[in-house]
């Protein structure tokens, strides 16, 4: 009788752990989806407000996965429906993270293009006012020659 009670208690704790993990994955997926929407609008990655919270949740998720891999935490799910929910959430998170990776790379490339455009404009401005040519020698300036007549 005691063994059955222990098994039920451990199953209930396992279910609670799985439900907690599902809630964590849902929160992380929602943040990543929100970040993806902002990146799709063209906002620079550095201005995204989700970054800190996303990193916090991702760290908790990574720690949980590492604990499972190390065997210190078990996620054996007896309830088929709960197991399917967990797998569905993991797949949704993976899809959102894949999209996030693509969008972040695009945002970084766009930032690099903006920086290069600014740098090119600065180089052109400096070249326009510089007394030196491309060779590093003084550039020949166009000088008007005229005759001064005095009466």
CATH of the domain at 85: 1.20.58
Answer yes or no: is 47 within a domain. yes
Residue 138, helix vs strand vs coil = strand
Answer yes or no: is 139 within a domain. no
Q: Phi and psi (nearest 5°) for 138?
A: -60, 130
Give the CA distances from residue 143 to residues 20, 126, 127, 146, in Å, rounded to whole numbers and listed in that order. 80, 21, 19, 10
Q: Which residues contact 33 (CB under 8 A, 6 or more apart)?
A: 96
Answer yes or no: is 151 within a domain. no
How far apart CA 19 and CA 89 sit, in angstroms, is 11
Prediction pTM value: 0.68
Answer yes or no: is 45 within a domain. yes
pLDDT of residue 51: 83
Per-residue pLDDT tens over the stretch 43-89: 776 667 788 899 999 999 999 888 888 877 766 777 889 989 999 99
- Residue 31 pLDDT > 90: yes
Structural domain for 28, as ranges: 2-129
Closest CA to 100 of 43, 40, 53: 40
Query: How many folded domains does the chain comprise?
Result: 1
């Amino acid at each position: 009788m005691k063994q059955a009670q222990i098994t039920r208690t451990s199953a209930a704790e396992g279910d609670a752990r799985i439900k907690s993990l599902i809630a964590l994955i849902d929160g992380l997926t929602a943040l990543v989806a929100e970040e993806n929407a902002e990146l799709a609008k063209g906002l620079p990655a550095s201005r995204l407000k989700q970054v800190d919270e996303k990193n916090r949740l991702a760290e908790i998720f990574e720690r949980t996965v590492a604990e499972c891999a190390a065997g210190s935490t078990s996620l054996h799910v007896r309830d088929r429906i709960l197991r399917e929910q967990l797998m569905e959430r993991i797949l949704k998170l993976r899809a959102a993270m894949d999209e996030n990776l693509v969008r972040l790379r695009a945002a970084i490339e766009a930032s690099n293009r903006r920086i290069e455009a600014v740098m090119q404009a600065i180089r052109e401005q400096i070249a326009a006012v510089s007394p030196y040519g491309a060779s590093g020698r003084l550039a020949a300036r166009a000088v008007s020659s005229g005759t001064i007549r005095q009466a």
